[in-house]
Amino acid sequence: MKEKDFYFNKEQGHARAIKIIKEVRFSEDSRDYGYMAENVPCQDGCPAITNIPGYIRCISEERFGRSYELNRMYNIFPGVLGRICSRPCEKRCRHGEADLGEPVNICHLKRSAADLKSSWHRIKENLYAPTGYKIAVVGAGPAGLASAHELATLGHKVTVFEAMEQPGGMLMHGIPEFRLPRDILDLEIKNILRLGVDLELGVEIGKRTSLKSLLKDYDAVITATGCMNAFSANLPGEDLDGVYSGLDFMMRVNNGERPKVGKEVAVIGGGFTAIDCSRMAIRLGASKVSVNLRRTEENMRIDEHEKNEAKFEKIRIYGLVRPVRITGKNGRVKSMTMERTRLIYTPEPPFRKAVPIENSEFTIPVDSVIIAIGQYPETGFIDTKIKLDGHRIWTSSDSYRTSVKKLYAAGDCVTGATDVINAVANGRQAAQEVDEFLIRRKRKKRIVRFEASAPSDRKRSDDFIPQVKLPVLDRNSRFKKITNEVELGYDHESAFKEAKRCYLCNLKFEIDVDRCIYCSACIDVAPRDCIKLIRDVEVKKDGSYGDYEETTNWRNVVAIAIDNKRCIRCGKCVEACPMDCISVTKVELIEQDLEA
């Protein structure tokens, strides 16, 4: 787009600007991808590349339905992931950088869009013409359902085979209802199935049908069977009554059983499953629950929010301990012996390893032990020669293709146990690869989209709005019924307030140096050090600009530049510029439809 197309006439105001927002430009230039990764870090951090600033902006405009749909374009479970996402985006949010406060509660906002949209909200699907191809998806977990949805929108006939009696995989069987109400999950699964996806429940591949026959009957098969086998800790006494594997424990509870846990429960492991088990044990009547880690709390893979909720429910987290053996009486667990560990440095990530301290054993009384140290995939159903990567299914690099023709794999069965947002992203990408294999061309492509925009109406005071905490149930109400959802969600006002905190990093403010008269008017009105006199700029490997080298000596100034990593999108510079040489562009990483 040419500069003049961005021209914003202040006298004619906002309406004039809106009128100009018609022309868009698309780019596949590596510099623009580099710009996105550097300047819109939340979207770059999201495995599903959801348009986070876009859907947050919709919330601040109280367009909850549009916000939900923007999310659903890339993440088929906005309501679900608004509750249980591991939030890689929030770790990258600029608001969380040093001196800028706490990250925007992106996950809670995602949930608010799902909760607060109209009940009669219109689901938007970008449907392609039917192709006549038949595809089987093995596993109705998040990766399988995400790939089924993507394949169905691409016009293929999809059948999902699920070994359990209910779809959802770990979402349905692994995550407790107090974190994820099942009506939310059911609704979002139904919305997938409405596209004509056939779901065959209770069909275990290898028993009622075989993978070989699926490969024969279908044009392609995606296996997304997750990680449903729990690792054993190989402890003496692990076979005693009262010793559970974390996954088995959660599955039994989610299927309506109430395993006997007693009063004192020790959980081994520090992931989401371990914390879920500990919180569930409290709900099942335990009074003293501990989570035991080989390393330290700092190294846990879960977010602070989950840790704090567990602590609020009186769960103790002990670091630097390692189980040695479990002992019992009359076949039932009675105590567990642990030993102390210390951290040593390792050159490879995660850089710290816990090593046991000799002769540091101690014993604690326990009524039950829950071992939640991870899961691995089941590959026994694969009745054809296939290349494996340890326990996992091997796929060729940057691809979802396995060593078997027509067989693709996605989600935890490839990556090992990760999180739901990664599984969803994987499922979609695998589906697009299958589509490319069948259609013999790419029909969707990630691309950077530029669109002229009006300056935002953010205020400097918005930067100082403290993070809006999500209301939660008080402790007693949580335990009245084990399915009571703990997090209550934002109301309109809270969602609006939290959304206003977003820096809207997808708005790119740029000075046209050819027209700039170096009057410094923009620098004078800038609320912080976001506009810089520069003498040089770092150019990265992909050609995108990195950090600016500033100067205070006018003789050395080569340009005045807006540092979009420091910009708060207040628009003051645009108002102040006498030459109208500051443009505002909405920059988004999107999936472009190549059939259009």
Partner 1 sequence: MPKKDHYVIIGNGPAGNSAADAFRANDKDARVTIISDEAFSFFYRHKLPQFVAGNIGEDDLKVRPYSVYKEQNIRLRLGQCVDRIDPEEKILYLRHMEKVGYTKLVIATGGSPRILPSLTSFEKHLRFMTGYNNAIKLMPEIQKAKTITILGGDLISFELVKALRTMKKKIFFIFYSKCFWPVELTGNMSAKICANMKKKNIEAYADDTVETLTEKGNLYTLKTASGRTFKSDLVCCFLGLVPNIGYIIGSGIDTERGVLVNEFMQTNYKDIYACGDCAQIYDPKLKDYWISIGWSNAGLQGKIAAMNLLGSSKVVKPLPKSIRDVVGIKIQTSWWDHF
At its nearest, how many Å lie between partner 1 and the CB of residue 497?
Answer: 18
Shortest distance (Å) from residue 340 CB to partner 1: 6
Whole-number Å distance between alpha carbons of 216 and 586: 47
Give least dist CB 235 to partner 1, A: 20
**Which of 172, 320, 421, 470 touches partner 1 by CB under 8 A?**
320
The structure tokens listed for 35 are 């710009």
Least distance between partner 1 and beta carbon 289 (Å): 12
Quote the tokens at residue 281. Answer: 């044990």
Strand partners, 376: 229
Decide if residue 480 touches partner 1 (CB under 8 A).
Answer: no
Q: Please report, as residue ranges, which positions from 385 to 404 form the binding site for partner 1 (by CB under 8 A).
A: none
**Residue 132's CB: how many other CB atoms inside 10 A?**
10
Choices 128-136, 351-359, 491-499, 580-588; region in contact with partner 1 by CB under 8 A: 351-359
Q: Which residue has the tokens 């069909």?
A: 203
Q: How far is the CB of 221 from partner 1 (least distance, A)?
A: 43
Closer CB to partner 1, 98 or 129, in the complex: 98
Q: Which stretch binds partner 1 (CB under 8 A): 23-31, 46-54, 314-322, 423-431?
A: 314-322
Query: CB burial class (10 A; 0-12, 13-18, 19+) of residue 75?
Result: buried
Three-state DSSP class for 46? coil
Does the bond joining 350 to the residue before it have cis omega, within 30 degrees of 0? Answer: yes
Biggest CA pair distance of the chain: 87
Does 357 bind partner 1 (CB under 8 A)? Our answer is yes
550 binds partner 1 (CB under 8 A): no
Stretch that binds partner 1, among 69-77, 126-134, 169-177, 350-358 (CB under 8 A): 350-358
Contact between 493 and partner 1 by CB under 8 A: the answer reads no
Q: Which of 203, 343, 516, 557 lies at the binding interface for partner 1 (CB under 8 A)?
A: 343
Please tell me the count of residues contacting partner 1 according to CB under 8 A: 24
**Integer Cα distance of 592 and 449 in angstroms:** 9
Q: Is residue 563 within the footprint of partner 1 (CB under 8 A)?
A: no
The stretch near partner 1 (CB under 8 A) out of 230-238, 338-346, 388-396, 531-539 is 338-346
- Cβ contacts of residue 445 below 8 Å, gap of 6+? 28, 591, 592, 594
Left, alpha or beta for 543 (phi > 0: left; psi -120 to 50: alpha)? left
Is 91 near partner 1 (CB under 8 A)? no
Cβ closest to partner 1, residue 312 vs residue 545: 312
Q: Report the alpha-carbon angle 224-406-194, nearest 5.
A: 50
CA distances from 386 to 403, 404, 412 (A): 6, 6, 17
Cβ-count burial of 96 within 10 angstroms (0-12 exposed, 13-18 middle, 19+ buried)? middle
**Binding segment (CB under 8 A) for partner 1, from list 275-283, 358-366, 493-501, 579-587:** 358-366
> For residues 319 and 411, which CB has a smaller minimum distance to partner 1 in the complex?
319
CA distance 556 to 74: 46
The whole-angstrom separation of Cα 276 and Cα 192 is 27
Q: How far is the CB of 157 from partner 1 (least distance, A)?
A: 49
CB of 345 vs partner 1, minimal distance in Å: 7
Residue 313 touching partner 1 (CB under 8 A): yes
By CB under 8 A, residue 194 contacts partner 1: no
Q: Is residue 348 close enough to count as binding partner 1 by CB under 8 A?
A: no
User: Nearer to partner 1 by C-beta: 352 or 481?
Assistant: 352
Residue 476 in contact with partner 1, rule: CB under 8 A = yes
Stretch that binds partner 1, among 17-25, 109-117, 123-131, 337-345 (CB under 8 A): 337-345
Tell me: does residue 342 bind partner 1 (CB under 8 A). yes
Nearer Cβ to partner 1, position 11 or 298? 298
The Cα–Cα gap between 402 and 381 comes to 15
Minimum distance from residue 383 beta carbon to partner 1 (Å): 47
C-alpha closest to that of 452 among 4, 3, 6: 6
CA 252 to each of CA 60, 271, 281: distance values in angstroms, whole numbers, following the listed order: 41, 19, 12
- State the pairing for strand pair 531-539/545-550: antiparallel
Q: In the set 12, 308, 461, 556, which binds partner 1 (CB under 8 A)? A: 308
Smallest distance from the beta carbon of 274 to partner 1, in angstroms? 17
| Residue 131: other Cβ atoms inside 10 A | 16
- Minimum CB separation of residue 112 from partner 1 in Å reads 21
Q: Is 131 in the site for partner 1 (CB under 8 A)?
A: no
The reply to whether 475 sits near partner 1 by the rule CB under 8 A is: yes
Task: Output the smallest distance, CB 409 to partner 1, in A.
Answer: 35
Nearest partner of 369 among 503, 278, 297, 434, judged by Cα: 278
Residue 514 binding partner 1, by CB under 8 A: no
Is 352 among the residues that bind partner 1 (CB under 8 A)?
Answer: yes
**Phi and psi torsions of 393, nearest 5°:** -80, 130
Binds partner 1 by CB under 8 A, chosen from 204, 297, 303, 485: 297
Decide the pairing of beta strands 444-452 and 582-593.
antiparallel
Q: Does 99 bind partner 1 (CB under 8 A)?
A: yes
Q: Per CB under 8 A, does 301 bind partner 1?
A: no
311 touching partner 1, by CB under 8 A: yes
Stretch of residues binding partner 1 (CB under 8 A), selected from 262-270, 308-316, 375-383, 387-395:
308-316
Q: How far is the CB of 342 from partner 1 (least distance, A)?
A: 6
Residue 84 CA: distances (Å) to CA of 87, 129, 130, 168, 303: 8, 34, 34, 14, 11
Give the contacts of 460 (CB within 8 A, at least 6 positions apart): 527, 568, 570
Residues 200-216 as b or e (16 or more Cβ within 10 Å = b): eeebebeeebebeebbe
> Residue type at 47?
P
Mark residues 242-281: x for contact with partner 1 by CB under 8 A, - for none.
----------------------------------------
Question: How many whole angstroms separate alpha carbon 472 and alpha carbon 485?
Answer: 9
Contact 212, 383 (CB under 8 A): yes
Residues that bind partner 1 (CB under 8 A): 98-99, 296-298, 308, 311-314, 319-320, 340, 342-343, 345, 352, 357-360, 474-476
